[in-house]
Structure 1
């Protein structure tokens, strides 16, 4: 859910700026994409990351890189379009399901890969960081969904 949250934050942040001033925001967006992708690609390319580990953390990291690239594209498109078409919103929410599934897989793989901390240290700790980020973003969306449902119920009771 971490990448889903990044797109959401980019979209909400870009709406504070007028449409003709969003180029500066695109530069910030590009820097943020580099900050997210660089450690993943660096660790994936390290020879130590290909050592034996019982859990497929390297495969999970490659899926994370692919989802990060898709998320960067969606964040750029979401910040440039005003209004965002319904089909793109649907694609964003489907991406959110994939991101949620990836977060769950990352969590399960990380929790069962404690022995990999000795053989593939950087890969394991990046997996831990992705698990924590996924948990925090899932909590964020759970609170946000709860507030949305509460607000929706209040509106329904007012009618």
Structure 2
């Protein structure tokens, strides 16, 4: 789920910069995205990673690497496109659902793989860190989803900047960067 969260945050961060002055931010986003791939590729190429483990942690690492490549792609699309086409948004949210499933599977298998800590140490710790990140991001989205749904059912009921009204206007009035719908 943290792959989806990363691309989601980059989408909103990109909108803070003027449309004609985003080149430096795009370079930083590209470098940050590539730097996320490096630890996964290092763990994947270690000879110790292929040792036997009673849980499919290596399969989760390979799947996670594929998801991270998609996250990098969405991140770059979001930093280049303004506005983002509806089909890309739909694909991104479908990717988010797949990312949720991958994060939950990673957490379940990792928490059952305490014996793998001895045989495949790096792989186990990578899965453990990924599991915690996925659970934190999942919690964040489950807190935000009711507000998204409420705003879909009754537009501008959660936050309306023009009228200075809405359920969440007062808490975020002084710091608009912490909220988005």
- Once residues 32 and 155 of structure 1 are traced to their aligned partners in structure 2, the CA distance between those partners, rounded to angstroms, is 36
Regions of 4+ moved over 2 Å: 146-156
1:6-155 to 2 correspondences below 5 Å:
6-149=6-149, 155=157
> TM-score, structure 1 length as denominator?
0.93
1:119-146 deviation line (CA, Å, top 9, x unaligned): 0000000000000000111111111113
CA distance in 2, matches of 1:7, 1:106: 19
Whichever structure has more helix as a proportion of its residues is 1
Cα RMSD of the aligned pairs, angstroms, is 1.8
Unaligned runs of 5+ in 2: 159-165, 167-181
The structure showing larger relative contact order (alpha-carbon pairs under 8 Å, at least 6 residues apart) is 1
Question: Matches of 2:81 and 2:33 in 1, distance apart?
Answer: 19
Q: Which moved more, 1:146-155 or 1:95-104?
A: 146-155
* Contact 2:55-2:112 within 8 A present in 1 as well: yes
Across the two proteins, how many residue pairs are aligned to each other? Answer: 157
CA deviation profile, 1:14-62 (whole Å, cap 9, x unmatched): 0001111111111111121122111000001000111110111111100
Instruction: Say if 2:104 and 2:135, in contact at 8 Å, map to a contact too.
Output: no
Select the structure of larger CA radius of gyration.
2
Any gaps of 5 or more consecutive residues in structure 1?
none
State the alpha-carbon separation in 1 of the partners of residues 11 and 19 from structure 2: 12
Q: Cα distance, 1:150 vs. partner?
A: 5.0
Aligned partners of 1:32, 1:102: CA distance in 2, in Å?
22
